[in-house]
Chains A and B, each alone.
Chain A
Amino acid sequence: MKKFLLAVCVVLLAAGVSFGADVIRIGVVATVTGQNAFGGQLELEGMQLANKIYPEALGKKIELVVVDNKSDKVESATAASRLIENDKVAALIGPYGSGPTMAAGEVAEVAGIPLMGTACTNPLVTEGKKYIFRACFIDPFQGEAAANYAYKNLGYKKAAVLTDVASDYAVGLASFFKANFAKLGGAIVADLKYQSGDTDFTSQLTEIIGKEPDVLFIPAYFAEGAIIMKQGFELGAKFRFMGGDAMDNPEIVTLGGEAVEGFLHTTFAYDPTMPEMNAEAKAFTEAWKQEYPGKESNANAAMGYDSYVLLYQAILSAGKAEPQAIRDALENMKNVATVTGLTSFSAESHDPVKDAGIVEIKDGKKSYIYTINP
């Protein structure tokens, strides 16, 4: 029995490290366990779908090497290091969220391996980095887009903000929303805080209700955001709720019921309910339906897909799958069609200028209603 077990272990080990000669390896620091697993899983499925559609470049098979990061920063750095040194990947696709991407990015930068961030919207991620790119827009733009839409399109003059102070994403986005809303001439009537993991928001909400804002901006992750809306609904809040890209969840109506009716959030410019899709988005939506029947896609899945496509295009235009060549090709990338719009990078900025979308929950359905151009 012991011998048999030993043999099984040896076989498993050997199988685990199978090497192929004519393969381009792209490493994925995936977030499939831990607190951000939901968004991370959709991203990964997006990448795997893209890998299925574009399986080869330069006559070589592209292989995704997936390593989980437990939604943890230290693990992200170790995972990136493992992919670079052990699996000899040509490029990396970053984990979910800005903090882990920064940790993985530091490793990639030192090793000289290009890293494509998926939905890391914190401006610091690419700041001062040569090898770090991202497929998404950054929070200053998202905050501005949300403020513009609330003030100009909806005519709201009084806004309240409820921020998760423990989340870099929420703090950044809230600050850019407040600055832009005030600049437009609106008033921030309440600016309250909570901590990730809180479950009772009634005291903050009661205070906000007393201030009578037109709109409450909650740059939250879905777990807390859904509870905030539910408790606000129960307290009889009259104002509108508005959130950011992290509130994008295909299950929002099932989970939130009537409490989420009328909820608005900014997102990356893709949603399966989009009325006018570009060619890439149409292809993505179709392919997703076939690959994962019964499962809704969302902007996270699109960002995962786009990140892969951007690296794929860079490998094609570089003509070789070497890290330095891919990096240079990425930096010179101009108007590549992706699901979430045209993507360009330059030597000055590794942050693409992209549209933002507005999603509204109307009549118990999630619908993409508006595109904001930068």
Chain B
Amino acid sequence: MNGTGTRARSGLLNLLPLAALVCFLWWAPANLDGYKLRVINLIAINAILGLSLNLIYGMAGMFSLGHAGFMAIGAYVSALLILTPEQKVTMWILEPIAPWLLNLHTPFIVSLVLAGLAAAFVGWLIALPVLRLGGDYLGIATLGFAEIIRILIVNLTPLTNGSLGLKGIPAHTDLWMSYGCFLVILVFVARLMGGNFGNVLRAVRDDEVAARTMGIDTFRVRTLAFTLGCFGAGIGGALMGNLITTIDPKMFMITQTYNLLMIVVVGGLGSITGSVIGSVLVTTMLEWLRFVENPITLGSLHIPGIPGMRMVLFSVLLIAIIIFRREGIMGTREFSWNWFFPPKNAPRALPDEGGRGR
């Protein structure tokens, strides 16, 4: 079978899980309880955030610790655009809200797109000076910018209600919305990485000097990747705000970024499949492990619940993954239908997604 045929078959096969997902989304709301739905929603949001961070860190090789800041921008832009004027008046109890903001009101979809664009724009502004740095310095600089964003939100009370936060955000994030956004971003990133831009990005990541010698405008490529990643962070933040229905600046501290970093690293730096697996694993494990905190009675033996125990177990799990699979679950590899149907007369053809060759 030649390459074109394999691709056509993969395209057809891709429809299968898509159909399964659509069936599941159609079945789930009526048959699962709110708790499970919430966790399933969180998986999609974490996958969006993980993918967008992976685009910056794993695929473009820029160590960024600023994701929580861009999430905050997305969450706030979206929330401020969909809250009604009456809600805003009752919430700004310390200082009055800025008059131009009071009557600003858009439908959810518009607010979602604007949230992404706002985060991308700020990301682009920050990228211009910061991306001249590399390695750990970039991490520190992005971390600083994320803190600046958070502190601005805390102090711009007429715009953001400061540290009091916002509440009563309409719960627009349902399964269709979160998985719709997730699929769009997943397909976009997969096409991006499968195309020439993906090769360019990998070239820049693996050897910037060599890439530049080949005539690649490395700064432009990195800026573009960073901005796209920030767009994803903005979308994820907006969906998160609409799921929790209340936000405040404390939600977007560095711990939020660590959570996402964990998803990306556990899944595999540079692997789209890995980020999705990572988000499923981290989100469900944190909830599933709660049973170890319940009081347990084994016959006559009664063990009182120890709160915080699940975090201990979770850490052990993480350490185990990092010890035994340092490159994460997927490494830089991607899921491919060729795993199940090996191409017949193409001996060890290079997969679409070339790895770092570990």
Interface residues of chain A, those whose CB is within 8 Å of chain B, are 11-13, 15-18, 30, 32-33, 66-68, 70, 72-74, 77-78, 81-82, 84-86, 99, 102-103, 106-107, 110-111, 122-124, 127-128, 165-168, 170-172, 175, 195
Contact = CB atoms under 8 A, between A and B. Distances in A.
28 contacts: A11-B298, A12-B291, A18-B297, A32-B308, A33-B307, A72-B251, A73-B244, A73-B248, A73-B251, A78-B39, A81-B35, A82-B287, A84-B35, A85-B33, A85-B36, A99-B165, A102-B167, A103-B246, A106-B244, A111-B34, A124-B167, A128-B90, A166-B151, A166-B154, A166-B249, A168-B163, A168-B165, A195-B151
Interface in B227-270: 240, 243-251, 255
Given A66-B307, A99-B248, 4 more contacts: A74-B251, A77-B38, A82-B35, A110-B34
B171 interface: yes
Contacts of A66: 293, 305, 307
Interface residues of B, number: 45
A167 B246 contact: no
A313 to B, nearest CB: 26
B292 to A, nearest CB: 7
Interface of B: 33-36, 38-39, 42, 90-91, 93-94, 151, 154-155, 162-165, 167-168, 171, 240, 243-251, 255, 287, 290-294, 296-298, 305, 307-308, 311
A327 to B, nearest CB: 18
B38 A78 contact: yes
A86 B94 CA distance: 38
Given A85-B34, A167-B163, A67 B290 contact: yes
Among the interface residues B171, B294, B307, which one has the most CB atoms of the partner chain A within 10 A? B307
B38 A68 contact: no
Contact of A99 (B154, B250, B290, B294): B250
B244 A74 contact: yes
Given A74-B251, A81-B35, A165-B163, A12 B307 contact: no
Contact of B94 (A70, A166, A175): A175
A85 B246 CA distance: 20
B165 A102 contact: yes
A110 B165 CA distance: 20
Contact of B164 (A81, A106, A124): A124
Among the interface residues A18, A30, A74, which one has the most CB atoms of the partner chain B within 10 A? A74
A86 B245 CA distance: 21
Contact of A16 (B39, B287, B294): B294
A172 B95 CA distance: 11
Contacts of B246: 73, 99, 102-103, 106
Contact of B168 (A33, A73, A128): A128
B287 to A, nearest CB: 7
A287 to B, nearest CB: 19
A168 B33 CA distance: 32
A103 B167 CA distance: 8
Given A73-B246, A127-B90, A122 B164 contact: yes
Contacts of B163: 165-168, 170-171
A166 B90 contact: no
A185 B245 CA distance: 41
Q: Which 8 A-B pairs have the closest CB atoms?
A: A85-B35, A85-B33, A16-B291, A32-B307, A33-B308, A81-B35, A68-B307, A106-B245
Contacts of B35: 78, 81-82, 84-86
A74 B287 contact: no
Contacts of A12: 291-292, 296
Nearest to A165: B154
Contacts of B38: 77-78, 81
B234 to A, nearest CB: 17
Contacts of B287: 78, 82
Contacts of A168: 162-165, 248
Contacts of A84: 34-35
Nearest to A35: B250
Contacts of B171: 106, 110
B93 A16 contact: no
Nearest to A81: B35
B162 A171 contact: yes
Nearest to B248: A99
A86 B34 CA distance: 9
Contacts of B39: 78
A17 B38 CA distance: 20
B42 A78 contact: yes
A172 B296 contact: no
A172 B161 CA distance: 11
Given A124-B93, A165-B154, A172 B34 contact: no
A103 B307 contact: no
Nearest to B249: A166
B84 to A, nearest CB: 12
Given A33-B311, A103-B244, A124-B93, A73 B33 contact: no
Contacts of B245: 103, 106
Contacts of B243: 77
Nearest to A171: B163
A68 B293 contact: yes
A13 B296 CA distance: 9
A17 B291 contact: yes
A140 B152 CA distance: 25
A72 B244 CA distance: 12
Contacts of B296: 12, 15-16
A168 B297 CA distance: 41
Contacts of A72: 251, 255
Contacts of B298: 11, 15
B151 to A, nearest CB: 7
Contacts of A78: 35, 38-39, 42, 287
A373 B311 CA distance: 44
A269 B29 CA distance: 46
A68 B314 CA distance: 15
Among the interface residues B34, B42, B298, B311, which one has the most CB atoms of the partner chain A within 10 A? B34
Contacts of A33: 307-308, 311
Nearest to A140: B93
A194 to B, nearest CB: 11
Nearest to B171: A110
A33 B309 CA distance: 10
A369 to B, nearest CB: 30
A101 to B, nearest CB: 10
